[in-house]
Structure 1
Amino acid sequence: MPAVEPVPALPEVLVSTPAPEGSSHPWPRPRLSVEEMPVAKNTQPTRSPDDLAADTFESDEELEEFLASMYAERHRDAPEPAACNPSSSTPMSRPCRTSAS
């Protein structure tokens, strides 16, 4: 059996963030449990989806513009779809849509 040489250890890299200006060291933050966090922030549980509702857009048109821009951005690098092939039934082919569908 051939001898196996040990792999040298990688050097340790220390990472830190700068302290706030005027501070010689950052103050430690108190550690709270998951149960203690909402109590400390005085939050209430969501009882209804209506609790999350917000009037973000002033009109339906503004919402539609936003959704169109999001769709375009998310599909920016997507390849162009293949042309439909009405006679093909392979999983990779795209069905043709008629104006009635």
Structure 2
Amino acid sequence: MARPWPETLDFSSADKRLHVRFDDGQAFEIPFETLRVESPSAEVQGHGPGEKKMVTGKKNVGVRAAEPVGRYAVRILFDDGHDSGLFTWDYLYALGEAAR
């Protein structure tokens, strides 16, 4: 079975959410705060099991830009300077399901 593929990514500064729709019909609204505190970067997740860092104080974080990475991910540049996480389509889908 094919993995869901994003059809649209809309970073809305008005409601501070990523609106994403996948080709399997699923649509999610993921708060920027969630994207920031769950960033897949080593800075947040650590380099091994049990090393995840608790990130707080990101309720009002914004997104400055988003850059495609190949055909498998997007790099999000947050307005607090964080920009090292690569959000794969599978990871965004999982965050979207968890944000429901």
Q: TM-score, normalised by structure 2?
A: 0.19
Identify the structure with the greater strand proportion. 2
Q: TM-score, normalised by structure 1?
A: 0.19
Identify the structure with the greater helix proportion. 1
Which structure is larger by alpha-carbon Rg, 1 or 2?
1
